[in-house]
Amino acid sequence: MDKKRTISRRNLLRDSAAAAAGGAALLAQVRPASGQAPAVVTGQRFKAWISRGTGPGRTTLKEATLRPITGRQVLVRTEATNLCYTLVPAVLGLPLPALGTPQPPPVAGALAAPPGTRRINDMAVIQGHGGVGIVEAVGPEVRRVQVGDRVCVSGTPHCGACYRCLRGRSDMCQFLSAIGADDLVAIGDLADGTPVYQNSHIGGLAEYMVPPEEWVVPIFTTKPAAEVGMVCGCTSIAGLGATATHGLTAIEPAMSVAVVGCGPIGLSAVQGARISGATTIIAIDPVRARREVALAVGATHVLDPNAEGDGLVDKVRSLTTWPTDRLWAGGRNPGGRRPGSGADLVVEAAGLDAVTPRVERGPDPTGILAMQQAYRMTALGGHIVTTGLVRGDISLPGNLFSFGGITHHSGQAGGCSPMRDIPRFVELLEKGQFDARTLATAVVPLERLLEAYEAVAYRTTITGIMTA
């Protein structure tokens, strides 16, 4: 035996490679050395809520057949999907309620996919943008997950390789820009041959999801599907992203936090603020039942914007003022003639009314007033995270905007970085720090989806979770 050979590093590596030859031979069966690896053909038939056309009745339960799983696609058997309020118009086909005052036209192009040659309403699309489930098959290029893994299909992709991911803003991952009608890939077919697509490459309102792996985060938990579906839903991820990560801004112990709007995002933000150590947590919502839940999950104060009226901002400022504002005594000086301090962090989670609520209505269906109030109740030098969709443009007090020291953060999913943060959110559920059960107020089987979506739309439930 050549002495040199036995000690060279290169040959050590070569020997260990030879020892692994058994494994390599196994792999070769599914990964030929040359040419494209084969797609995984399941031919699986599955039930899916499919939207097409316009108006009420555009979403119906149909049976489809899966196309082969290729490339970086992951076949996920859906366990649970949260019914996001953002998709109320797409699912229920209801027009936005008319407003009393004329609104400026929307600014074209803001984050919307560019107009394509295909019209999304002409396509058969599975709605939803996320869920949790079990991996049943993976395309030949998938690395992140394996068959049998439990996964969160995140509404926000995370490639880890694009400019924005690498600069710490994976909530703005480049893959998010490729979800327009022309970008979508058919994942199945209806019996009449109509191709079936998924909202945002994800879907969720079906027995299967076929996202590319960039949208998939492995989670290792045995918690019940509805609870995992809640904490991994886009709403909880946004609320926790804003308050329990350092993605956009950080909560330090004993900080004051105000949460404007107590739907699933706001109520998750209340919990994230509690978990992160905030000691004053003010939750604001017109719906009494939601304020009660806010108190149950960690709010220290609740306010009704209808009852407070124009005094809402001053009330938040007074609740966040420390015992002294004396100069040199370490007080939190209100600054100028502002009554009181203002919250260190404000999370705006109110948003527009997609339909007129069947519970207590807020003061402004466009969501604009809530956003303006949120800005004005932020402490000088404080931070505001906005998560709501509004109808129209926002105007703010110019000088407060210009030199009030308020940092505004906007982002997808509250700035959550999916691969970094979602497993941590699941850990909060595992260890009893995040209360998913109290937020998941309507858990329904797949067949009762529309009924639960109406409850979400009219705000008679906090969250709807569909289990498949």
Residue 165 binds Zn ion, judged by CB under 5 A = yes
Number of residues located near Zn ion, criterion CB under 5 A: 8
Return the number of other C-beta atoms located less than 10 Å from residue 246's C-beta. Answer: 13
Binding residue for Zn ion, selected from 80, 125, 159, 312, defined by CB under 5 A:
159
Q: Is 218 helix (H, G, I), strand (E, B) or coil?
A: strand
Nearest approach, Cβ of residue 391 and Zn ion (Å) = 17
Site stretch for Zn ion (CB under 5 A), options 159-167, 215-223, 264-272, 365-373 = 159-167
Given the complex with Zn ion, which of 136 and 214 has the nearer CB atom?
214
Going by C-alpha positions, the residue among 123, 133, 86, 333 that lies closest to residue 229 is 133
3-state secondary structure of 148: coil
162, 216, 319, 413: residue in contact with Zn ion (rule CB under 5 A): 162
86 binds Zn ion (CB under 5 A): yes
CA dihedral 138, 140, 141, 144 (to 10 degrees): 30
Integer Cα distance of 200 and 125 in angstroms: 10
Phi, psi at 409, each rounded to 5°: -120, 125
409-468 residues near Zn ion, rule: CB under 5 A: none
Q: How far is the CB of 166 from Zn ion (least distance, A)?
A: 8
97/243 Cα distance (integer angstroms): 32
- Residue 78 token pair: 């859906």
CB of 13 to Zn ion, least distance (A): 33
> Nearer Cβ to Zn ion, position 124 or 456?
456
Nearer to Zn ion, 84 or 379 (CB): 84
What's the N-to-C CA distance of the chain in angstroms? 63
Applying CB under 5 A, which of residues 40, 142, 173, 176 lies at the interface with Zn ion?
Answer: 173
The residues in 211-250 that bind Zn ion, with binding defined as CB under 5 A, are 234
CB nearer to Zn ion: give 375 or 425.
Answer: 425
Q: How far apart are CA 455 and CA 468, in angstroms?
A: 19
Stretch of 79-87, 105-113, 265-273, 333-341 lying at the interface with Zn ion (CB under 5 A): 79-87
Amino acid of residue 377: M
Within 299-328, which residues bind Zn ion (CB under 5 A)?
Answer: none
**CA torsion angle for 102, 108, 113, 114 (degrees, to 10)?**
140
User: Which residues in this chain contact Zn ion in the complex, by CB under 5 A?
Assistant: 84, 86, 159, 162, 165, 173-174, 234
